[in-house]
Amino acid sequence: MATIEAVDGDLTTQQVDAIVNAANSTLLGGGGVDGAIHQAAGPRLLEECRRLRKTTHRDGLDVGDAVATGAGDLPARWVIHTVGPNRHRGQTDPELLASAFRRSLEVAAEVGARSVAFPAVSAGAYGWDADEVARIAVETVRDWTATHDEVELVRFVLFGERTLTAFERALSA
């Protein structure tokens, strides 16, 4: 079973094989975590995302799905882009959120990533409560890693004490 941990930190500086981007469906950058990753990764990340939009993801990425690109100037090897549900748009099904975490792990395994760092997908601007995100994320990661051995480390890299505490509580349950 994988090691699962939660830390306060900057996702863009993590020394892991893959980081997960809480992307929007366009895959072309945005605000929050998405904007920070694109800024730190440099122009190659946006170029790869544009290629995806011209080829395999012409209509963008669906909520709950994930896709990998290279990581540009980041210390990670890959960025796994996932689109979490947006509560403000009526996307309130917890399965959509669980799918974003599960699909990210599946894509990580497909590219050969042994260590993955996640943000609190859908918390913050997408309106999901940090405690609910933490519970769903931890449960989904535990369930997936219980039956898959490809990923050895899952690190939730969180911004702010409230979100970190929510994930620490979920991990201790």
DSSP-assigned beta bridge partners for residue 19: 79, 117
Among the listed residues 8, 10, 17, 34, the single catalytic one is 34
In the chain, what is the straight-line distance between the N-terminal and C-terminal CA atoms, in Å?
A: 17
Examine the residue annotation and report whether 73 is marked as an active-site residue of this protein: no
User: Largest Cα–Cα distance of the chain, in whole Å?
Assistant: 44
CB neighbours of 65 closer than 8 A, spacing ≥ 6? Answer: 82, 83, 99, 100, 103
Query: How many CB atoms are closer than 10 A to CB 108?
Result: 27
C-alpha separations of 125 from 105, 113, 167 in Å: 23, 28, 18
Closest CA to 167 of 128, 122, 123, 133: 133
Which sequence positions are flagged as catalytic? 34
